[in-house]
């Protein structure tokens, strides 16, 4: 059974802003599904609808076969959410956050205690379990929130930008918690602006832009959608017209990105750019390139 099945979802707010414009989406169970999009693209609006917090203007969302409008109570028993603005309570300990969340989910005292102790142990929170949340680092605070929803046993976890603003080490602490949830059989619906995070965690990815889905596939299939496998990022005095003789060209900020089919051409371009005094970074094509192509401002016409 699909974790989420959305059909032709529209959402128009009272100020006539159309946040979602005919969104169709399928999320498979037991995987990490990542929703990518710019600020204001409609990611959080969709999560709030699928999470029974917001009514759609039209269309239908089913969560494990239950309609999020007609069967909202049934849906809520199977989901848990870490909202974008979510923060632990400063004067409550790590252990208490997890335990009381389980109790609120209907666990008995013994079951809540067992679930809490297990998640604390498995997620490496032992040394922090009796610390007040206000004394934890940013990464650990977010990890506590993810630990709460993992311990709840919910089948579907909505994580709305759970690592925003975290340093690389803290971000990976949260990644470990997400992976553990999936290993436990949970489905994770993740939103993020980090391409590194999406590539590290995702099984499936959808890209949304201005309320519409512009791409939806597995990570591997998206990677194969760009035929060039090499990108040269050039900063400095090197014209897009000249760069286009080596491959397809994109202007990204003050840089020229050139997408190249073979290593020989990449080497020639690098030599030419260095002679001009430009700096060059040659890398493999990744998810960021696919994102830019799909939402605009990406690959433009070249040779």
DSSP string, the chain: --SEEEEEEEEE-TT--EEEEEEEEEE-TTSEEEEE--TTSSHHHHHHHHTTSS--SEEEEEETTEETTTTHHHHHTTEEEE-TT----TTSBHHHHHHHHHHHTT--HHHHHHHHHHHHHHTT-GGGTTSBGGGS-HHHHHHHHHHHHHHTT-SEEEEESTTTT--HHHHHHHHHHHHHHHHTT-EEEEE-S-HHHHHHH-SEEEEEETTEEEEEEEHHHHHTTSS--EEEEEESS--HHHHTTTSEEEEETTEEEEEESSHHHHHHHHHHHHHTT-EEEEEE--HHHHHHHHHSSS-----
One domain, residues 95 and 239: no
Confidence at 14, pLDDT banded by 50, 70, 90? very high
Domain shared by 249 and 150, yes or no: no
Q: Are residues 140 and 213 in the same domain?
A: yes
> Could you say which of 171, 190, 223 is where a domain stops?
223
Among residues 223, 249, 278, the one where a domain terminates is: 223
Q: Is residue 303 part of a domain?
A: no
pLDDT at 301 over 50: no
Determine, yes or no, domain membership for 282. yes
Query: How many structural domains comprise the chain?
Result: 2
Mean predicted confidence (pLDDT) in 55-80: 97
Predicted confidence (pLDDT) at residue 300 exceeds the cutoff of 70: no
Is the pLDDT assigned to residue 123 strictly greater than 90? no
Q: Is residue 280 located within the same domain as residue 206?
A: no
* Within a domain: 118: yes
- How is residue 256 written in tokens? 């020229």
User: 181 and 120 in one domain?
Assistant: yes
Tell me, yes or no, whether 89 and 180 share the same domain: yes
Of 190, 207, 223, the one marking the end of a domain is 223
Residue 299: the pLDDT is 46
Question: Which domain CATH number covers 247?
Answer: 3.30.70
Residues 234 and 175 in one domain: no
Mean pLDDT, range 7-15, rounded to an integer = 96
Expressed as residue numbers, the domain containing 235 is: 230-295
Mean pLDDT confidence for 6-29: 96
Asked if the model's pLDDT at residue 244 lies above 90, the reply is no
Task: Evaluate whether residue 245 is within a structural domain.
Answer: yes
Tens digits of residue pLDDT in 21-56 = 999 999 999 999 999 998 889 999 999 999 999 999
């Amino acid at each position: 059974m699909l974790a989420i099945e959305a059909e032709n979802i529209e959402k128009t707010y009272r100020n006539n802003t159309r946040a979602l414009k005919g969104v169709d989406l399928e999320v498979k169970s037991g995987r990490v599904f990542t929703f990518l999009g710019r600020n204001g693209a409609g990611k959080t609006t969709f999560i709030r609808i699928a999470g029974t917090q917001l009514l759609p203007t039209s269309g239908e969302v089913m969560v494990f076969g239950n309609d999020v409008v007609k069967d909202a109570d049934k849906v809520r028993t199977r989901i848990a959410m870490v909202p974008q603005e979510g923060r632990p309570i400063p004067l409550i300990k790590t252990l208490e956050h997890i335990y009381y969340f389980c109790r609120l989910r209907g666990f008995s005292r013994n079951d809540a205690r067992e679930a809490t102790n297990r998640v604390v142990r498995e997620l490496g929170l032992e040394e922090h379990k009796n610390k007040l949340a206000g004394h934890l680092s940013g990464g650990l605070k977010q990890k506590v929130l993810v630990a709460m929803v993992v311990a709840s046993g919910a089948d579907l976890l909505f994580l709305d930008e759970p690592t925003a603003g975290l340093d690389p080490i803290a971000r990976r602490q949260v990644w470990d918690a997400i992976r553990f949830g999936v290993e436990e059989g949970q489905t994770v619906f993740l939103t993020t602006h980090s391409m590194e995070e999406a590539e590290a965690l995702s099984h499936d990815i959808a890209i949304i832009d201005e309320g519409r889905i512009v791409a939806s596939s597995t990570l591997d299939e998206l990677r194969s959608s760009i035929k060039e496998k090499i990108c040269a990022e050039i900063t400095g005095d090197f014209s897009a017209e000249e760069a286009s003789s080596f491959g397809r060209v994109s202007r990204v900020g003050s840089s020229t990105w050139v997408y190249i089919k073979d290593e020989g051409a990449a080497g020639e371009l690098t030599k030419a750019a260095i002679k001009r005094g430009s700096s060059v970074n040659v890398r493999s094509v990744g998810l960021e390139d696919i994102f830019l192509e799909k939402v605009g401002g990406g690959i433009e016409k070249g040779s």
